Structure 1
Amino acid sequence: MKTLALASAALLISSFAAHAEGELNLYNWGNYTSPEMIEKFTAETGIKVTITDYDSNTTALAKVEAGGSGFDLVVPSANYVPIFVQKGLLAELDHSRLSNIGNIDPKWVDVPWDKGRMHTIPWLWGSTGIAVNKSVYSGDVNTSEIFLDPPAELVGKINVVPEMSDVMALAIFNAGGEACTEDLTILKKVRDRLKAAKPSWLSMDYGTTDKLSSGDYAASVNWNGSTMRARINNPDIVYGYPREGYPLFMDSVGILSDAKNVDEAYKFLDFIMIPENAAMLSSFARYANGISGSEPFMPEDMKTAPEIVVPAELVSAGRFLPTCPQPATELYTAIWTDLVK
């Protein structure tokens, strides 16, 4: 009996060790994943999650497309999901392995960038606008002129996030164009304004939350959730919705075609579709999620936050960016490459 007990104990220990050895490699935007949620996932599954950060969709796409990244999951924005799919970089999801897929809010299921959610599930969504420290500049913040023709108080104190799609969209909307325009008159104006404005910027940096909080930046092209986090630390931070037009985004998470830890990836996707866990993502990053039933678990301050609740007169100025055709993408890339060199 003692031998049997020892054998059983050894088998139990062996099984636990195998369970605890599970690994998962998540490639995600920086400062965008709730540590508390990751700890909960590991505690419940034994799967160790390693997170590698990126600062733009183009960075993520280039890294994944190069191959051999070792990542299992990636979180591209809506307009980049079709590019990942077209290039064969995302695996088609087996919905039978996702018991919680019915928790996706119906309005986020048949989305233009991933009909029926065949390759991704929602992560978080929000807007790209203008963050301003009102103790430095007290004028109108609901305009992209803040970074395209900076007021004197903000010259040399502005950051612009290094996300081509968002910055180009803001400049194109300001010039009276539409997303994915190939109108060379519009694009010449965009190029000239961006290049003329750049000397008035301090930086093109992804890490804006802390620097806005500390006052290192007096303004930034920035995302709403990041701006809310900065405002919680520094009440002088305000968020502007450019009336000329501003991008909306939803970042969605999918399994890479060359993922090694597929079982673990499915467990993670299913886990973050549990309402309480989706709310943990929102609570950390301060963006809305796409999971029904998460509302009761959300922070109270997000329900009325000016970074979340868009002024009625500016709602229509927000728009999701489509995936641009190759000719438009090449034009934008040329402008962007010239801007950042």
Structure 2
Amino acid sequence: MSKSIAVIAATLSLSLAGAANAAGQVNVISWSGYFSPQIIEKFEKQTGIKVTVDSYDSNETLLAKLKQGGSGYDVAIPSHQFVPILVHENLLERFDPAKQPYYANIVDNLQKPSWDPEGGYSVPFIWGTTSVVLDTALYKGPTDSYKVLFEPPQELQGKVNMLDSVNEVMDSASLYLGIPLCSEDPKQVQQVLNLLKAQKPFVKTYSSKAGSVRENLASGETSMSLFWGGSSLRAREMKPSLKYLYPKEGVVAWVDNMVIPKGAKDPEAARQFIAFMSQPENSAMTQNFLKHQSPIKGTDAFLAPSLKDAPELHIPEGTKVVFSKTCGEGAIRLADRLWTNLMR
């Protein structure tokens, strides 16, 4: 009897150890502050898979990390225009999410999108717009144009933050100047550079670290920033006088996507993580935390009331919305030269 119990106990111990090993670990690299402790805790409790999260502050930084070998990351979250670049560079695993049941949860216009037309490499995680947020307690003038950002009035000079990303800065500047995104015309890119150089003396910081940008806006260290809609909402919760603008020139839209880097240590754990994050209730948890828009159907029932009428998340009718593009090699070279010149 005691021998049988010992055998059973040993067998059970081995099976539990096997289950623990099978559960694995998922190493995630994402934009800073993208996951609440609650969503990570829920995933770990539900699956037994441990999660580690590293962060980056630009798509360019992510690209460099993955080119250097990826440091064993299982999931990354690049913006949509970088997905084709990562595929072209052979930096992503093809895992065909479009064939999985959860893919039907994605809103129709983001299923098999232009940056991943077969739904082979990516799943939308969160989306939103990029525009201007400013402190209306300090500035009372017109807010219908990017002019306030690129040619700041005296009360805002020296209190401006610009995102530390050539793509996002160039896209917004191009909208303001009426220049096509990803221009390969040196004269047009020179126009953008001239605009940004004229603006630079009035820029206090170039930063894409969302938490720091919000804190600086709330404290008054800065009073205007090129920023993302959901992050602007979080900043407004800290300082109600902040306002997110919808300029007449339009706003840039972006979609951040979950992908599996080439050479992922635990691709099965990565697939489980992506499927989990694509469920309506879990996506709503992410939206409630980040305040950006969810790409998943059926989240409304789980959303915080404050999000249902937030101006940062509801684009006014008639607003021009332009999705950022994957630039060609010529445009990338010109953009790199522009940024190097601007940062001197």
TM-score (norm 2): 0.94
Q: Deviations over 1:256-293 (max 9, x none)?
A: 11101111101101111111001111111001111111
CA distance in 1, matches of 2:106, 2:309: 23
Match of 1:259 among 264, 274, 283: 264
Contact preservation (8 Å) 2:98, 2:112? no
What is the deviation of 1:19?
3.8
Pick the aligned partner of 2:127 from 120, 125, 128: 125
Instruction: Tell me the percent identity.
Output: 35
Offset at 1:18?
A: 4.2
Runs (4 or more) in structure 1 with deviation over 4 Å come to none
Matches within 5 A, 1:143-154: 143-154=145-156
The aligned residue for residue 300 of structure 2 is 295
1:270 aligns with 2:271: no
What is the CA distance between 1:176 and its match in structure 2?
1.3
Counterpart selection for 2:338 from 324, 328, 335: 335
Counterpart CA distance in 1 for 2:224 and 2:38 is: 30
CA separation of 1:298/1:329 partners in 2, compared to 1, >3 Å: closer, same or farther? Answer: same
Q: CA, structure 1 residues 276+192, in 2 after alignment: closer, same or farther (shift >3 Å)?
A: same
3-state secondary structure, aligned to 1:291: coil
1:9: which partner in 2? Answer: 9
Q: Aligned AA for 1:83?
A: I
The one-letter amino acid paired with 2:114 is P
Are 1:141 and 1:239, in contact at CA under 8 Å, matched by a contact in 2? no
Once the two structures are TM-superposed, the CA of residue 124 in structure 1 deviates from its matched residue by: 0.2
Question: How many angstroms apart in 1 are the aligned matches of 2:70 and 2:117?
Answer: 28
Q: Distance in 2 between matches of 1:16 and 1:3?
A: 20
Give the structure 2 partner of residue 182 of structure 1: 184
Letter in 1 for 2:66: V
Preserved contact between residue 73 and residue 261 of structure 2 (Cα < 8 Å): yes
Secondary structure class of the residue paired with 1:115: coil
- 1: CA distance, partners of 2:232 / 2:258: 22
Q: Report 1:202-221 matches (<5 A).
A: 202-207=204-209, 208-221=213-226
Give the SS at the match of 2:254.
Answer: strand
Q: Match for 2:242: what amino acid?
A: I
User: Does the 8 Å contact 1:142/1:240 carry over to 2?
Assistant: yes
Q: TM-score, normalised by structure 1?
A: 0.95
Deviation of 1:337 (Å): 1.7
Q: Are 1:175 and 1:186, in contact at CA under 8 Å, matched by a contact in 2?
A: no
2:157 partner letter: V
CA distance change for structure 1 residues 101 and 138 in 2, over 3 Å: closer, same or farther? same
1:320 matched to 2:323? The reply is yes
Q: 1:267 to 1:193 in 2, by over 3 A?
A: same
Q: Unmatched 5+ residue regions in structure 1?
A: none
- Paired residue type of 1:217: T
Confirm or deny that 1:244 pairs with 2:249.
yes
Structure-2 change in CA distance of 1:14 and 1:135 (3 Å): farther
| Aligned mates of 1:196, 1:244 — CA distance in 2 | 20
Letter in 1 for 2:3: T
Which of residues 176, 191, 201 in structure 1 aligns to 2:203? 201
Query: Deviation per CA, 1:25-74, whole angstroms, max 9, x where unpaired?
Result: 10100112222111100011111111111000111111111115221111
Distance 1:174 1:97 in 2: 40
Post-superposition Cα deviations, 1:143-201, rounded to whole Å, max 9, x if no partner, equal: 22222111101111111111221110111111111111222332111101101111101
* CA distance in structure 1 between the partners assigned to 2:140 and 2:169 by the alignment: 23
Gaps of 5+ in 2: none
Tell me, yes or no, if the aligned pair for 1:159 and 1:201 is still in contact at 8 Å.
Answer: yes
SS of residue in 2 equivalent to 1:100: helix
- Equivalent-residue separation in structure 2 for 1:97 and 1:10 (angstroms): 40
Aligned to 1:111: 113
Query: What is the one-letter code of the residue matched to 1:92?
Result: R
